[in-house]
Structures are given as structure tokens and as C-alpha cells.
Structure 1
Amino acid sequence: MALYSRQMLAFMAVAQELHFGRAARRLHMTQPPLSQQVRLFEERVGVPLLERSTRSVRLTPAGEAMRDAMQRIMDDGEAAIATARRVATGEAGLLRMGFTPTAAYRLVPTAVGAYREYRPDVQLSMTEADTGHLRALLAQERLDVAVMRHTSDSQAEGLHLEPVDTEPLVVALPLRHAWSSRRSIPIEELAAMPLIGFARSTSAYFHTLLASLFARNGLTPDYVMESVLPTLLALVEAGIGAAVVPGSVSELRPGGVKYLPLKARHTLRSTLYLAYRKDGVNPAVPALCEALRHAGTAANEVG
């Protein structure tokens, strides 16, 4: 690749071969123009770099220093070309990923682990935040890809959105609760007991999802307080109330909480979406998206 001047390449060929004829053949040129290029290079440097005689060519001390310095530059240049090409194909570079807290329970660890094995030289910058913040970071081009929630009334202009994971809702009860030995919890009974809900300000998706769940079943839940994960689980463990949470939360396995299936005539599932800008240019994104899709498919096959 022509990163360097003809004069520099001519000098380096002679400096390495110490023979004008061999250097000329190496560069696929005749000897007179090669000699002219080397002389022009010496003139630019301002000092003699070669000692010439009818029988031999030797480097001056300045020539040896120039050869070594130019070799380092050429090595760095080749490395820069290789790096640029690997970044362009998504094999290296920086990838900025965002995810909601609930995505960290099963989808993100599996996908990121697989991606790091496949693309070990890509530097991953990861941000955990609520969906509203992730959406803003994508809009500001401060994230390349995000795993987040989405509702029909959410603004998604300029974003590609696709579901990558869906899971059932389950009931979280204090471990020593009278219902903890049951096989499932009917939603009618659940609505009549004290519940801990999701705060609208920080968990708008789950707040809306649970409101829809109870409304579709013609019920009004008895919320005694609202919180966010994982604090919500600590409140359940303390016996303040039960909660309806995504099934993957059960993988946290806190000692004082029991998870049971929710029985309802009209059920809903929580869904995670893969999101990235439609005009995004980071070539490292597609491979991570594929890892997320595979992780989501595997998670749904298991549970």
C-alpha cells in the first residue's frame, strides 16, 4: 500500500540490500531512476546516507539511524493498516452497549460471553440504565446497541427494534408465606393481597405491563408500595407484600423469596428488544446482534 514516498522506499530498498542492482530488481525498476530517487531523498534529509564506490554501498552512521527509524515507521504503518481493516470488518474497535437491569439476569451475560469469544479484540463499553435513558443515549449516538423494553407508545424514530427475548411473569412471595407450597397462584387471589409494584418513574414498562395484566383480568391490585428491582425483592423477602416479576428474576435465587407460576385467564409476557440506530455505522454491531438473537432463542427454548 502506497503510504510512503517513492524516495523513501528507494532508500529503504538500497539500505536493506546494500546493492543498487538488487534493490532495483526488488522494486521492479531500472537502476538509474533508483539512484536518482535515493539522491533526492538524501537531499531532502540534508546529510549523506550512503557511501558509494564502484564495488560496494555502505550506510553512513546517519544512514543506519535513518534506516532503523524508517523501519519502525513502516512497521507501525503496516500495523495501522491491519488495525483499520480489522475495525472496518468488526473484528476490533470499540462497541458501546446498553442494557436494562432485567436484561442482565440471563440474556446479556450469555450473549456477551459468546461475543467476546468470537470477537476478543473488540473493546466492549457497557452501560446499565432504564429504557428511557438508553433510548436517549442511542439518539445521541452515545450507544451503538441496546437491550431494552418497548411499548407501543414509546418513541422509536430512527431506531431498529426487534424482540429478542420473551418470558412469563411469575409471583414472588416471602419464603415462609402460607402460599409458598402451592404449585401456582391464581391472579384473583393475588390481587386481593398486599402487593409491591414497579415505580412508574423508573420502571415504566413493568408498571404499564402489570396495569394491563390486572385490567385485562378485570381486577384492581392492592399496591402497598412501589419500588425497583432488585430492591423490590428485598421488600418481598421482608414480608411487606408479594410481587409480579419477569421469570428470569428467579435466577437470582435470593434465599428469602419463593417464585411461583401466575395463573390467569389473560396472561402477558415481558419482552426485551434489541435496538440500534438505523443509520448506525459501527461494523462491530451485527455480530453482537446475532449473539443476542441466539441467546434469546436459547433462553426461550429452555424456559
Structure 2
Amino acid sequence: MSLYSRQMLAFMAVAQELHFGRAAQRLHMTQPPLSQQVRLFEERVGVPLLERSTRSVRLTAAGEAMRDAMQRLMDDGDAALATVRRVATGEAGLLRVGFTPTAAYRLVPAALGAYRERRPDVQLSMTEADTGHLRALLAQDRLDVAVMRHTADSQAEGLHLEPVDTEPLVVALPLRHAWSSRRSIPIEELAAVPLIGFARSTSAYFHTLLASLFARNGLAPNYVMESVLPTLLALVEAGIGAAVVPGSVSELRPGGVKYLPLKARHTLRSTLYLAYRKDGANPAVPALCDALRHASRYKSSTS
């Protein structure tokens, strides 16, 4: 593919070779059409670019300036072509990534680290938000890919959704809590103590998940306050109550909080979903999806 006119290429060949015969060979053409193309180029420019004699070809001062300017233009054009081709293959460009706060504790950092090694020239734009906001940004084509929770209306919005990571729920306790030396906490005992829950308005997924967890075990939680991560952990550390959180939160390891397994007859897991528009066209998306799947702990047999 050439970005340049035949006349420009003819002039540049002669300007570099300073010989019509060698320039014609280089362009795989005969001398007469080459000379005609060069004359047409000079006419377009409006000033003589070459001094011709029977023995030699020389550039005029204007010709030297034109040669140098055209070389810079061709170098820039070649660089632009290389960049465009790399963007088309997903090796460069911009990738807009959204993620829920809990995805930032393990999955997203692990996946992005691997992705950056494979695609160092892709610029990443990161947005942290709740699932509802991420879903809206995907629908508005303001994100290319998101790691979020599943919602009932996501599929209707033309999104590809697949479970990409799953983890158990654990109990977060103040470090000096009477239960802190235990190996696990039975859900029956947990339901009887003050708990910090997830706010429905901003953490609808976890609010619903925990309601289902307690209901399946025939229990009702004793919520004394509701909040969002990471503020919820600060409330636990302050001794206001215990909390049930996704296991990856324990990787934060704040000094005043201890995490213990939750023991229950009927358990539930927290699941993260990979989401992107079915009509999305960003070629950088597949490699990030692969990185997320590779970093995932999800197994198809889990529920």
C-alpha cells in the first residue's frame, strides 16, 4: 500500500539517486514515463526542482528542501501505517476497562499485570464503579470491557457475560473479637451478633447475596448498620459489628481485622463476570479477556 502519489515517488527516486536510469530501475519502469512524472510534479510545485544536463542531474535549492520535506512526510506516513496496523491487531491503542471495587483486590491486578507484559503499548483507561454504573457505561459505549456482578437485565442490553472468577464468603471480625481464635464461624452464631451489611443502594449484589445466604439457612441477620467496601471494614475494625465479605477482601489484610471461614449447611459463593458489548469492535479486548480468564479461580463446575 502506498500513501503517496506516483509523481511524488518519481521525484523522490530521482532526488535520491541523482540519476534517471537508476531511479527508473528502482521503480521498475522506463525512463520516459519517469521523466514525465517528475516534470508533472515540478509543474504542480511551481518551481524547478532539478537541474538536468546530458551528464548529470542536480537538485536545486528548492529541490533539496522538497526532498527533505518529502522524506519527513514519508517517514511519518510509514510510522502512522505501522501504528494503525498495531491498533488493528490489538497491540496498541486505547482500552477502556471498568471494574467493581471487589474485583480490584485480586483478579484485576493479576490480569492487568499479565496483560501489560503482552501489550505494553496499549493505553489503559480504568474506571472503578458499582455494577449498575458499569452496565450503563457499557451500554453507552463508554467502556470496552468490565469485570462486574451479574444483574437480571444485563443480558437484554446486548452484553456478552461469562463468569470469570468465584470465591467463598468469609467472616470479617475485629482483631480482638472473642471469636478471633476460632478456625471457622457457624452461620447460626453469626446471625445472633451485630452485623455490618452491604447497602442495597450501592452494593445491591452483595445485599441480595447475603439475604439469600441467611434465608437458605433459615436465619435472619442482625444488621446494625449498612455500608460499602472498604468503609465496611473500618466499621468492623471499630468493633461495631462483624461482616460477611468475599474472600479476596482478606488479601488487603488491614491490621485491625481478622478473616475466618464461614461454616453453613447451604453456602453461596461470590462470582465476578466478564462483560463486553456483543457489537464491540476494539481489537484489544480479546487479549485482556484471556488474561482475566487465566488469572481466574473460576471452574465451570462451581455454582
Q: What TM-score comes out, normalization by structure 1 length? A: 0.97
Corresponding residue pairs, total: 303
Residue of structure 2 equivalent to 1:31: 31
The CA deviation at 1:2 is: 2.0
The CA deviation at 1:300 is: 11
Partner SS state of residue 300, structure 1: coil
Partner SS state of residue 301, structure 2: helix
Instruction: Please give the per-residue CA displacement for 1:196-226, whole angstroms capped at 9, x wherever unaligned.
Output: 0000010000000000000001101100010
Summarize the Cα distance change of 1:220–1:228 in structure 2 as closer, same or farther, 3 Å threshold: same
Residues 9-20 of structure 1 aligned to structure 2 (within 5 Å):
9-20=9-20
Summarize the Cα distance change of 1:174–1:299 in structure 2 as closer, same or farther, 3 Å threshold: farther
The CA deviation at 1:151 is: 3.6
Summarize the Cα distance change of 1:200–1:302 in structure 2 as closer, same or farther, 3 Å threshold: closer
Instruction: Please give the per-residue CA displacement for 1:110-159, whole angstroms capped at 9, x wherever unaligned.
Output: 00000000000000000000000000000000000000011446554200
Partner SS state of residue 302, structure 1: coil
The CA deviation at 1:162 is: 0.4
Residues 247-258 of structure 1 aligned to structure 2 (within 5 Å):
247-258=247-258
Summarize the Cα distance change of 1:121–1:73 in structure 2 as closer, same or farther, 3 Å threshold: same
Unaligned 5+ runs, structure 2? none
In 2, the alpha carbon distance for the partners of 1:291 and 1:14 equals 51
Task: Decide whether the 8 Å contact of 1:165 with 1:300 is kept in 2.
Answer: no
Structure 1 stretch displaced more, 122-131 or 150-159 = 150-159
Partner SS state of residue 164, structure 1: strand
Q: Which runs of 4+ in 1 moved over 4 A?
A: 153-156, 298-303
The CA deviation at 1:297 is: 3.5
In 1, the alpha carbon distance for the partners of 2:77 and 2:151 equals 49
Q: Does 1:114 align with 2:111?
A: no
Summarize the Cα distance change of 1:234–1:300 in structure 2 as closer, same or farther, 3 Å threshold: farther
Partner SS state of residue 288, structure 2: helix
Residue of structure 2 equivalent to 1:299: 299
Summarize the Cα distance change of 1:229–1:265 in structure 2 as closer, same or farther, 3 Å threshold: same
Instruction: Please give the per-residue CA displacement for 1:231-271, whole angstroms capped at 9, x wherever unaligned.
Output: 00000010000000000000000111110000000000000
Partner SS state of residue 299, structure 2: helix
Task: Decide whether the 8 Å contact of 2:7 with 2:38 is kept in 1.
Answer: yes
Summarize the Cα distance change of 1:128–1:196 in structure 2 as closer, same or farther, 3 Å threshold: same
In 1, the alpha carbon distance for the partners of 2:161 and 2:91 equals 24
CA RMSD of aligned residues (A): 1.9
Task: Decide whether the 8 Å contact of 1:167 with 1:300 is kept in 2.
Answer: no
Task: Decide whether the 8 Å contact of 2:166 with 2:297 is kept in 1.
Answer: no
Q: What TM-score comes out, normalization by structure 2 length? A: 0.97
Task: Decide whether the 8 Å contact of 2:164 with 2:271 is kept in 1.
Answer: yes
In 2, the alpha carbon distance for the partners of 1:301 and 1:45 equals 71
Task: Decide whether the 8 Å contact of 2:135 with 2:154 is kept in 1.
Answer: no
Task: Decide whether the 8 Å contact of 2:165 with 2:298 is kept in 1.
Answer: no
Q: Does 1:234 align with 2:237?
A: no
Structure 1 stretch displaced more, 270-279 or 147-156 = 147-156
The CA deviation at 1:296 is: 0.5
Summarize the Cα distance change of 1:157–1:301 in structure 2 as closer, same or farther, 3 Å threshold: closer
Q: Does 1:126 align with 2:126?
A: yes
Partner SS state of residue 51, structure 2: strand
In 2, the alpha carbon distance for the partners of 1:66 and 1:259 equals 72
Task: Decide whether the 8 Å contact of 1:49 with 1:62 is kept in 2.
Answer: yes
Summarize the Cα distance change of 1:194–1:152 in structure 2 as closer, same or farther, 3 Å threshold: same
Summarize the Cα distance change of 1:264–1:298 in structure 2 as closer, same or farther, 3 Å threshold: closer
Unaligned 5+ runs, structure 1? none
Task: Decide whether the 8 Å contact of 1:92 with 1:123 is kept in 2.
Answer: yes
Structure 1 stretch displaced more, 71-80 or 154-163 = 154-163
Task: Decide whether the 8 Å contact of 1:131 with 1:149 is kept in 2.
Answer: yes
Summarize the Cα distance change of 1:14–1:30 in structure 2 as closer, same or farther, 3 Å threshold: same
Instruction: Please give the per-residue CA displacement for 1:91-112, whole angstroms capped at 9, x wherever unaligned.
Output: 0000000000000000000000
Residue of structure 1 equivalent to 2:41: 41
Summarize the Cα distance change of 1:253–1:302 in structure 2 as closer, same or farther, 3 Å threshold: farther
Partner SS state of residue 102, structure 1: helix
In 2, the alpha carbon distance for the partners of 1:14 and 1:127 equals 53
In 2, the alpha carbon distance for the partners of 1:126 and 1:219 equals 39
In 2, the alpha carbon distance for the partners of 1:154 and 1:8 equals 54
Structure 1 stretch displaced more, 282-291 or 153-162 = 153-162
